[in-house]
Amino acid sequence: MADIIEIVKGSCRLYVEHWREVVTAFAALFAVAVAFELLQLVPVLGFFAAIAAIPGMEAALAVVLIAVFRPLGEIADGKPPSDWTTHVGPTLVPALKAFALRFAVNLAMLVPFIILAAVLLGPAIAAVAQDPTALPGVAPALTAALPPILLCALATLAVFIAVTLLLMFLEIEVSLGNMGVLDAAKASCRLVLSNLAAVIVFEAVWLGIAVVIMIPTALLTLPVSLCFPPLASLITNAVMYLGLFPVMYLSLVKLWKEIAAPK
């Protein structure tokens, strides 16, 4: 099994040496995240910005990652990294296809939950909307609907985690493996299933690192968040996009290179 701790330590050392060549990519993601949050503060645009924030960030993430994985791969190989912006144009269409695939898969996973909630809660909600005094009468129906809805929500969450794990190398396979999106998805699934222990350890290590970094960050910015929430969000996003993400994705590239290499 791949030595995950050594991969993460090596990625930290490499990022310290080469951060200037790739940090602008993650700064671009940081700027997009900040832009969406600022737009949500605008009274007229806030509602639409909130709706667009998740797919907008996912699209930006796909475009930037598939471009920046090229220099990250070169850094992992000990080669001089190329300019990530030169890869944006050639990889734009594949990146948007990768985003579309992820978006469609995530939407498909939510459909059963949405249908079940609509069937079980729809009549009761409609009755209360027409006559608020009907709430006591429909309360038993609402109570009875909660257990299956919660079970469905837990099942949806479990499926989401599993699918996200299976597709963790999707963008790398598109960028560094030069594959089409569907072939990249299949390759990612095969790679994860054949190296499941290493992948789970990798995810656990990075979950622990994220907790160790982000919880103190949240505590330190708590006084700021009480007085001026946008500034606290700005600091949190800066730590995440400029500090955490670059090393995490570099270590993901190193893991891919190690487990995908012919044995």
Taking only the tens place, the pLDDT of each residue in 7-45 is 999 999 999 999 999 999 999 999 999 998 888 887 777
pLDDT value of position 58: 94
- Report d(CA 85, CA 44) in Å as an integer: 33
pLDDT value of position 199: 95
Q: Residue 12: helix, strand or coil by DSSP?
A: helix
pLDDT value of position 69: 97
pLDDT value of position 122: 84
Hey, how many other C-beta atoms are within 10 angstroms of the C-beta on 167?
19
pLDDT value of position 59: 94
Segments of the chain scoring below 70 in pLDDT: 1, 261-263
pLDDT value of position 224: 83
Please tell me the number of Cα atoms within 13 Å of 160 on its side-chain side: 16
- Contact between 163 and 109 under an 8 Å Cβ cutoff? The reply is yes
User: If 0-12 CB within 10 Å is exposed, 13-18 middle and 19+ buried, where does residue 242 land?
Assistant: middle
pLDDT value of position 141: 79
- Report d(CA 49, CA 112) in Å as an integer: 26
Q: Is the pTM of this model over 0.85?
A: yes
- Report d(CA 95, CA 24) in Å as an integer: 18
pLDDT value of position 262: 57
- Report d(CA 233, CA 58) in Å as an integer: 18
- Contact between 149 and 116 under an 8 Å Cβ cutoff? The reply is yes
Total structural domains within the chain: 1
The residue range of the domain holding 55 is: 4-260
Amino acid making up residue 116: L
Phi, psi of 113 (to 5 degrees): -65, -45
